[in-house]
Amino acid sequence: MSFAQQCVAEGPRFVLTVKHALIALERGDTNLALDLHRASPLTDDDFAKVFDVLDRRPNAVVFVRFGYSYATDTTGLRLAAWIAKCSSVREVVVPHNKFGVATFLAVADAMSVNTSVRVLVMLGNPVFPVEYRLVVTAFERALHRNSRHPVDSVWRLFDLSCLLKVLCE
């Protein structure tokens, strides 16, 4: 069995801190799961370091999760650019950051070319009710442009309670 086949058979290797993510990426590790969700709240500067390396090695990661951090559209736009050129990532879970509508629209554009993401979770980010329709339309366009997404894909963009509040007003 080749090294690549062994990595896939064993599943992804979880990395829990920015420091360890940078070390693993720089040494050329693949099949990584960046689970930065448990790290103390991270900032755009923390994420910039990770995306600087991911720009050079976009397909090293199969799973990325960071939430309850201070990531703004600065990080969100880098995330979207990475999603657009990455063919290995299967899950992107980034709830409860500070992403605005610019990140949502950029991620929608990225999803129009990416066919590897099966799970996308962005709920809990501060998108205002007047922007919901714009965001939903952008993701609908992504599905129409890229019909190769697996039928079992899950895209959770908003908290259900937020959508219900808008629909009931």
CATH no. for residue 83?
A: 3.80.10.10
> Higher confidence at residue 5 or residue 24?
24
- The pLDDT, as a whole number, for residue 162 is 59
Average pLDDT over residues 32-61: 91
- For the segment 79-119, what is each residue's pLDDT rounded down to a tens digit? 999 999 999 999 999 999 999 999 999 999 999 999 999 99
For range 14-38, the mean pLDDT: 92
Provide the whole-model pTM. 0.86
Task: Output the pLDDT for position 167.
Answer: 56
- Domain range holding 83? 3-168
Q: Identify the sign of the CA torsion 77, 78, 79, 82.
A: positive
| 110-156 confidence digits (pLDDT tens) | 999 999 999 999 998 887 777 888 898 898 999 888 877 777 888 88
Predicted local confidence at residue 106, as pLDDT? 98
Is the pLDDT at 2 greater than 60, yes or no?
no
Read off the amino acid at residue 99: F
Residues 138, 143: Cα–Cα separation, whole Å: 9
Helix, strand, coil shares, percent, the chain, to 5: 50, 10, 35
What mean pLDDT, rounded, does the chain reach?
Answer: 87
Mean pLDDT of 39-46: 88
Total count of domains within the chain: 1
- Please list the residues that pair with 28 across neighbouring strands: none
Q: Looking at residue 147, what DSSP letter applies?
A: T
